[in-house]
Chains A and B, each alone.
Chain A
């Protein structure tokens, strides 16, 4: 019997905490819970529970898939730090995926715009096309003025602000990317910090 391929998916870039265990082509269990700025407290206990339910330990994993944003900066860093550590400690493969792609996977519509609010009329946005339960990226992840972005799109589109990821769809659609060197993995912030902006403006 060929050994099974065990994967853990993590996303902490939105206000929902998402974890999933995938063995071969089956999703064995998942967690998708709304957080109250407490992803940092809950993620490890939930992960432990989820893995235990499948009789798995962190060392058993063949791949960790992590949402690298864009989204909440503090949030995404929690998931990315954890994924990096699991990958580094166990020399297991780490793959990254856009947190917007994960969000888009929750929709059944044909044209999808995942949307994460970034204040002051801006949002993290992307555009996906869906056919036969497969997602195809049309536009890259951007941080843009919402009105401006949406005005350029032809309707009808499904704007998705909250949704439980369909990890199997994401995997089938080839939206994950293997990280070459786990030490170098960082979140996708899509913008420099305010301090850097001010400094450059001087």
Chain B
């Protein structure tokens, strides 16, 4: 079964061809990261402009690299949401044209389902499974008892992990995107600053990072006022230590409470080395998997994989009325 995946929810235009929800034949990603760097974050209007500019080119490249014809495609899977609405609409409408042009079934895929299913490319999923989804827009713990059954155990009450990373990076004068920078500098520093671990002992699986973020920003501000020396590496190491402590502890507790067979860490922040190390070191009773770095950040291969399993499970295709939606519930996605 050949699935054509399409992803345009944020600042990456991506099209991919995946066989049987497993083998990636092509995964073309046109990234706008260089463009948004100058603004310190994604500018939605610019993102939309770039998507419409690159859309057909990305389709063309993905098909050429996969060496398949549109007539060979069995399913089209497109990110339906959540994401930037103007960006989503480009991918959704492009996917609809392909579906109508060749009479291929079309499914709208939840972006987070994509992040979780990215894991299936290298490791078969075994249920029950626990997924920690961490990115610039999301921080949630999701339990899956079977393919395409999502139960949200908890989520952030305020900032997403990636968002907190970006803000801390900005305060410390590190370039956008801040996450990888903080991760890199953390390796050079020592976690000598005592930062709070919000909600680490709460009995639920929710998160909160705005308090930690404010604490770091305030301390930095006060130290600057007092002309104290700021050791950026130590700031990064301390911040990373605090945030990963919370993520790892909650994931460990959920994995035991729900007696899962494997733990998946997905989303852009899953590329974070500090998080990877601490997860693998702390959770040892079941395997902990991370998608390959190239499938952690937004890409269409993960959407194709998720779409394949969604279609196999539900046997339901969308009609030409499919629309993008900036907010979308994962548990209702299937």
* Interface residues, chain A, with chain B CB atoms under 8 Å away: 38, 40-45, 47-48, 57-59, 73-74, 77-78, 80-82, 84-90, 182-184, 186-187, 189, 193-196, 199
Contacts and interface: CB of A to CB of B under 8 A. Distances in A.
Contact of A89 (B48, B90, B92, B97): B97
A85 B58 CA distance: 11
Given A73-B48, A74-B86, A195-B45, A44 B57 contact: no
Interface in B61-78: 70
Given A59-B101, A84-B56, A85-B93, 19 more contacts: A41-B321, A42-B321, A43-B93, A44-B321, A47-B100, A48-B320, A58-B100, A74-B85, A77-B48, A77-B49, A78-B89, A81-B55, A86-B101, A90-B101, A183-B60, A186-B49, A186-B52, A193-B45, A195-B39
Contact of B324 (A40, A48, A183, A186): A40
A5 to B, nearest CB: 20
A73 B51 CA distance: 13
Contact of B100 (A44, A87, A193, A196): A44
Nearest to A41: B323
A83 to B, nearest CB: 9
Given A74-B48, A81-B52, A194-B45, A89 B320 contact: no
B59 A193 contact: no
Minimum-distance CB pairs A-B, first 9 = A85-B97, A44-B320, A88-B56, A195-B43, A45-B320, A193-B45, A183-B57, A77-B52, A41-B323
Contacts of B97: 44, 58, 82, 85-86, 89
Which one of B45, B46, B60 has the highest number of Cβ atoms from chain A below 10 Å of its Cβ? B45
B325 to A, nearest CB: 10
Given A77-B89, A186-B52, A186-B53, A193 B43 contact: yes
Contacts of B33: none
A85 B48 contact: no
Interface in B297-329: 319-321, 323-324
A15 B101 CA distance: 26
A47 B320 CA distance: 10
B38 interface: yes
Contacts of B22: none
A77 B85 CA distance: 12
A47 to B, nearest CB: 8
B288 interface: no
Interface of B is mostly: helix
B167 interface: no
Contact of A73 (B39, B45, B60, B321): B45
A182 B56 contact: yes
Interface of B: 38-39, 43, 45-46, 48-49, 51-53, 55-57, 59-60, 70, 85-86, 89-90, 92-94, 96-98, 100-101, 319-321, 323-324
22 contacts: A40-B92, A40-B324, A41-B323, A48-B320, A59-B101, A74-B86, A77-B49, A77-B86, A77-B89, A84-B52, A85-B55, A85-B56, A85-B94, A86-B101, A88-B56, A89-B97, A89-B101, A183-B56, A187-B52, A193-B43, A193-B49, A196-B46
A88 B62 CA distance: 14
Contacts of A82: 93-94, 96-97
B98 A89 contact: yes
B59 A85 contact: yes
A193 B234 CA distance: 38
Contacts of A59: 101
A73 B93 CA distance: 15
Contacts of A189: 49
A176 B25 CA distance: 39
A90 B59 CA distance: 13
A183 B94 CA distance: 13
Nearest to B57: A183
A199 B38 contact: yes
A152 B90 CA distance: 39
Contacts of B60: 88, 183
A40 to B, nearest CB: 5
A177 B94 CA distance: 23
B70 A89 contact: yes
A45 B45 contact: no
B271 to A, nearest CB: 26
Nearest to A42: B321
A183 B321 CA distance: 25
Contacts of A90: 101
Which one of B48, B52, B59, B60 has the highest number of Cβ atoms from chain A below 10 Å of its Cβ? B52
Contacts of B323: 38, 40-41
